[in-house]
Chains A and B, each alone.
Chain A
Amino acid sequence: MTALGKLFRTTTFKLTLVYLTVFALFAAFLLGYFALNTRRLITEQITETVDAEITGLSEQYRLGGIRRLVIVVDARARRPGSSLYLVTTFAGEALAGNVTALQPGILDNPGWTETAYRRLDEAESPEHPDHHALARVYQLPGGFRLLVGRDLDERERLYHIILDAGRYSIAIVLVLGLAGGLFVTRRVLRRVDAMTETTRTIMAGDLGERLPVAGTGDELDRLAENLNVMLERIEALMHGLKEVSDNIAHDLKTPLTRLRNRTEQALRSAKNEGEYRAALESTIEESDSLIATFNALLMIASAESGQARDNMTEFDAAEIANDIGELYEPLAEEKGIALKVEAESAAPVNGNRELVSQALANLVDNAIKYAEPINGATAEIVVRALSQGDHILLTVSDSGPGIPEADRGHVVERFVRLEQSRSKPGSGLGLSLASAVARLHGGELTLEDNHPGLKSIIALPRGGPVQSAG
């Protein structure tokens, strides 16, 4: 497609054409109306004056006969101007006046007529075409005929001036309109082309690219801004996906290798049934923990992609705090930790009860793993459900070692386990899942210093997540 062809196909250019046609038609109508009316007005004026003159001249004839009429007509005919006069006998012999070379037979028909003529003082010449006049022939009593008329050249000239003005203005409208249309179209086309170019780059795989925004705040800018937000989200998702696969590669391969090594070892060196059995049992244990890790990863992925959004119901966060507290209380007690629940009643949340429960369970589980008695006092974990402004907070506070501030953002990532916690069991996915669940509900997971210890907070919007598009 040629550049010009592309230009002509744009919506902007087609719109320009439509507007141009409308404006041109309007201008033509306006000027045509003006021209016709002017012409009609002039004609009216001519007939009125001619009528008045004929009345006056026939009055002169009535008063002084043909002699007086001839004198008056003669005097008027000598004046310069566009007035035309002729007085003839019944036979057509001219007695006075300033016109000749009338079309034959004109004088025989009384009334209004348009005729060609030549002024008496003009020489007859082929290159000088005859003038045109609007005239009235009047039959005087006694057989004489009177013709009074006006030259029409002026009327025609005016008529043509107006018509010309019309033609020129339409031409100017067309030229300016087309030029303006082309200019605007090319500008728009350039921006759309730039956008298309960027989209191609993005489609080719460079997700970091963004559409150009001109900063004018027009519709193209808004479109570009929205597309950029969309790209942002896609990039984040792609990034997440890549991270997941990296982590799967890294953190699932390690236990898989261990599993394989152990089995191989047993095959090579086990001596009796007991040793084989032990090897098989540890294989099952290892694969169970692999399955658990895998399930947690899938859960996080489904929470992050927003799939679980279909399963939202209204539930009371306080009830969840009580339930999870009750579920973990014996475990905490066994480890010498006091687990307390402080739940405000009626903390309504619209969400996935199962996922929120699991998120809170993960936080409590972490707290139990890391809680330590301080200065001889019993270690304590407090689970709270409270409403704060627009949010329902589910918090878990412990008196453990806490997490250094610099590491807090970091531990929410998948599989991150701080060096000092390597000895404790766990997949390192608990906090990532809690964070993914919070984000699914339009909330967030934050970690704070509990002085001493860690305070994990899941903030969920009261009454459910803000419905984002889709």
Chain B
Amino acid sequence: MRLLVIEDDRDAADYLVKAFREVGHVADAANDGEDGLAMALDGEYEVLIVDRMLPKRDGLSLIGTLRAKGIETPALILSALGQVDDRVKGLRAGGDDYLPKPYSFSELLARVEVLARRHGGRNEETVLNVGDLELDRLSHQVRRGEVEITLQPREFRLLEYLMKHAGQVVTRTMLLESVWDYHFDPQTNVIDVHISRLRSKIDKGFSQPLLHTVRGAGYMIRDGAR
């Protein structure tokens, strides 16, 4: 995956470029808003990582200009401003995701991969499959092999989100944001308990577990046999 990091703090930019390369992505860096805009217009990037406060042209205006020119490359905004209002402003300006600083790399990576995949478009499928697990988004039915699984509405949405991003790491914060629509940090890790409940419903009694915990990052649903 080709990524563009637009960040004026050179240390942070170098760190991100290096870290992305380590996990197998190609990443370039721009150190101000104008360079970033020129590179985003030229290059064929899959995801842009844009710092909100940049010299020469701020991050929101950069994204706005790109969108006005019809370039829809998904953009993730990094910002030291972490209030709810700031997030809303960032998303309204054309950003696709918003991550307050300081962030963990695993969180950033998970979000970037989800953004890149979003363009692949698993969104429109009405039936999601992972291994022998099947989720029907229209009839709200879930079955594993021949066994029908009954889920609470929230568990259904949790599983739906995980399956939509099958094979990708999904962090706790991403789950809290997309399944519960909360952007705060619950002091205790409530998500873990929800996951273990879900796990007991879809994996218990089956030889092949599908729902995996990725240490230090989050969760992933994937077909272990493949």
Contact = CB atoms under 8 A, between A and B. Distances in A.
Contact of B84 (A291, A308, A334, A427): A308
A3 B60 CA distance: 58
Given A302-B83, A308-B84, A311-B88, A327 B184 contact: no
Interface in B2-25: none
Contacts of B88: 311
Nearest to A426: B187
A284 B104 CA distance: 9
B185 interface: yes
A397 interface: no
Contact of B82 (A281, A298, A358, A427): A298
Interface stretch (B31-39, B62-70, B189-197): B189-197
Nearest to B88: A311
A295 interface: yes
A307 B82 CA distance: 13
Contacts of B102: 287, 291
Q: Is the interface of A mostly helix, strand, loop or mixed?
A: helix
B86 to A, nearest CB: 10
Interface stretch (A212-220, A340-348, A360-368): A360-368
Interface in A333-376: 333-334, 352, 354-355, 357-358, 361-362, 365, 368-369
Contact of B190 (A288, A327, A354, A430): A327
Given A330-B197, A352-B84, A365 B185 contact: no
A331 B190 contact: yes
Interface string A286-302: 01100110010011001
A287 B101 CA distance: 13
Contacts, number: 66
A348 to B, nearest CB: 19
A239 B150 CA distance: 54
A121 B196 CA distance: 140
A308 B83 contact: yes
B105 to A, nearest CB: 10
Contacts of A281: 216
Contacts of A26: none
A244 B216 CA distance: 32
Contacts of B186: 327, 361, 365
A323 interface: yes
B125 interface: no
A19 interface: no
B194 A354 contact: no
B209 to A, nearest CB: 19
Nearest to B103: A291
A426 B193 CA distance: 18
A249 B182 CA distance: 30
Nearest to B186: A361
Contacts of B100: 295
A295 B185 contact: yes
Contacts of B119: none
Given A334-B193, A355-B84, 4 more contacts: A308-B85, A331-B193, A426-B187, A427-B187
Interface of B: 82-85, 88, 100, 102, 104, 154, 180, 182-188, 190, 193-194, 196-197, 216
Name the 8 nearest CB pairs between A and B, nearest first.
Answer: A330-B193, A358-B184, A331-B193, A354-B84, A331-B190, A365-B187, A330-B197, A311-B85
18 contacts: A284-B104, A295-B185, A307-B85, A311-B88, A327-B180, A327-B182, A328-B190, A330-B193, A331-B190, A354-B84, A354-B182, A361-B182, A362-B187, A365-B186, A368-B188, A369-B188, A425-B187, A426-B187
Interface of A: 281, 284, 287-288, 291-292, 295, 298-299, 302, 307-308, 310-311, 323, 326-328, 330-331, 333-334, 352, 354-355, 357-358, 361-362, 365, 368-369, 425-427, 430
